[in-house]
Amino acid sequence: MATSNATTETKSKFGIPTVGNSGAGVLQPKQKNKFRVSFLNNFGGATETKVLTQNVQTVVRPKITHEEVVIDSYNSRVYIQGKHTWEPITVTFRDDITNQTTKLIGAQEQRQMNHFQQTSPVAASDFKFDTQIEVMDGTNAGSTEVWFLEGCFFTNVDYGDADYTSSEYQTITVQIRYDNAIHFEGDNDSNGRVVQGNPFPDSVDIGNNTSA
């Protein structure tokens, strides 16, 4: 039986056909389990927060809502964009046996409000921190996409529950409000990204300071 040396691939025909193209294949999607969250700029007054990064279980990426402004004119209405709101994000941590996660989260909560002394900070810059969410591809420590959240603070801390009938690990869930979010391309050099139609700016100065 004759064997052909030519191999015909069909995977390039997958995907949604567009005008003038019968199929362009399927782009590799970003996977939910490949990410990293870092807590920066004096979170909890600590110089090292790596243990929080190591114990993140889930994170919700930023959401933005734009207000609608109605302009009434004769028989009709038109709409323009008003102010925007960045919605709070939720981060869930595994509560480790060494209490390092609990201590750091408690330290940040104490910076926002000292419940023992019943005192509060003079200015927001005394307790706000920054959060960085990176999407990764699993090949190295570089990121393909970065969300940088400025002016963060806790609006809710949930220490979870205990249950005699369960063997699941305990978690701590926090809700974080922030002033602004910047979205830009990461420094991953694996050439796995699509270059055309890049929605990210070439560079972003994220700075080091946070103010109210």
Q: Which fold is adopted by the domain 30-185? A: Pnp Oxidase; Chain A (2.30.110)
Domain ranges of the chain: 30-185
Sign of CA dihedral 76, 78, 82, 87: positive
* H and E: helices and strands count for the chain: 2, 9
pLDDT digits 0-9 by tens, 56-94: 999 999 999 999 999 999 999 999 999 999 999 999 999
Between 198 and 153, the more confident residue is 153
Distances (CA, A) of 151 to 43, 100, 103, 186: 11, 23, 21, 21
Q: What is the pLDDT of residue 139?
A: 80
**Contact call for residues 175 and 88 (beta carbons, < 8 A):** yes
pLDDT digits 0-9 by tens, 130-189: 999 999 988 878 888 999 999 999 999 999 999 999 999 999 999 999 999 999 887 765
Task: Give the predicted TM-score (pTM) of the model.
Answer: 0.81
Using DSSP bridges, classify how beta strands 35-40 and 180-185 pair: parallel, antiparallel or unpaired: unpaired
- pLDDT exceeds cutoff 80 at 109: yes
